Amino acid sequence: MQKLEVFGANKLKGQINISGSKNASLPILAATLLSSKKVNLKNLPKVKDIETMINLLQSLGSKIRFKKKKLIINNSTQNKNFASYSLVKTMRAGILVLGPLLAKFGKAKVSLPGGCAIGTRPIDIHLKAFSKLGVKYNITQGYVHASTPKGLVGSKIRFPKISVGATENLIIAASLAKGTTILSNCAIEPEIKDLVNFLNKIGCKIKWVGKRKIKIDGVNQINETTYSVMFDRIEAGTYLVAAAATEGNLKIKNIIPKIIKTEIDTLRKIGTKIVVKKNEVNVIGKKIIKSINIKTAPYPGFPTDLQAQLMVLLCKANKKSLIKEDIFENRFMHVAELNRMGAQISINGNRAIIQGNINFAAAELMATDLRASVSLILAALIANGKSVINRIYHLDRGYENIEKKLKKIGARIRRIK
């Protein structure tokens, strides 16, 4: 099993290019199942979750090849509607093939999904919304068995709570439904906007008719297209925090700064200097870090996927800080590991109280999920001595070439077996 060795006390300096978005690529890849024509995708990140989704599409009959940094997908002979547990078990986004398979074939058998153990994340919101489009379903032996006796039929659907996955799944499915679908109380993450842009480019008719309301007119013709996926805002935010935590001076390139405005504003509040340009930001970390109280929230709020990274930075703040986790109920698993490094963080329900003014000490550590993994790297980068991080397969699910990128900007880090 692979590990990371991280030697602390280095300031990150230089520039870094942000990869394509994992969380945008996954629903777009699933949505290619709607097409029987060629789709070219650019700017996909080279991470494990993307590899898993490509394997899932191939198991469904998609013909896929790489050519000059493009992924070429041909579904002209794609004819399978069974998504197995062996491929879906490691990745939450596997459930996103349910919508396009139902739209295309009228029936599907898809394993219940896996992914990081950060909360229950049930798919009941997906299934109840699908039922309003005419889907009949049951769950047997860990699989969703779903069919549309009369085909998908447009409907008015209001999600009971904001759900990124359910919004994506229903947008994809409703794109081929008969008539018009109105989705209300939708998630509005930039990755969903990217999915909508992709679907419209292949011939779908989707438009935003309110802040959280989408109108979808079903179509029966899908076009061939080439599409470039947006940047990964969570990777960008991670390097923002890394530069601030190490008192570094880092240019973060290939981004759209307005998309990460909340993250930039949050770091400015705690004293980080950030200069915003057209497609990049320059982050200059300061010695004095101010405390802050913050809560995670659906976009445009502060992202839950950056909560663990921000917590590391707040351990260095001049006073006590508080983070309220309002998205997932089990997303403080990194706290025990940070406390082993000298942090003073206490948990009360969905609140983490961070004492601040601490110096991290190097330690051997265990990663528990994707974002927790990277938070341990950040803590190790500012600790004295050598830290070893185990179970880094979590990390490889969502960060492209992280140790190579960190080495380029001055980190002392290496992968060992």
In whole angstroms, what is the distance from residue 383 CA to residue 358 CA? 10
Q: What is the DSSP letter of 92?
A: G
User: What residue type is 76 in one-letter code?
Assistant: S
In whole angstroms, what is the distance from residue 80 CA to residue 101 CA? 9
Residue given tokens 């290619």 in the structure block: 32
The separation between the first and the last C-alpha atoms of the chain, rounded to the nearest angstrom, is 6
- In the sheet that holds 321-324, the strands lie side by side as 293-295, 321-324, 351-354, 345-348
What does the H/E/C string look like for 136-159? EEEEECCEEEEECCCCCECCEEEC
Q: What residues contact residue 157 under an 8 Å CB cut-off, 6+ apart?
A: 129, 132, 133, 170, 181, 182, 183, 184
3-state helix, strand, coil in the chain (%, to 5): 35, 30, 40
186 is catalytic: no
Neighbour tally for 124: CB within 10 Å: 11
Query: Which residue numbers are catalytic?
Result: 116
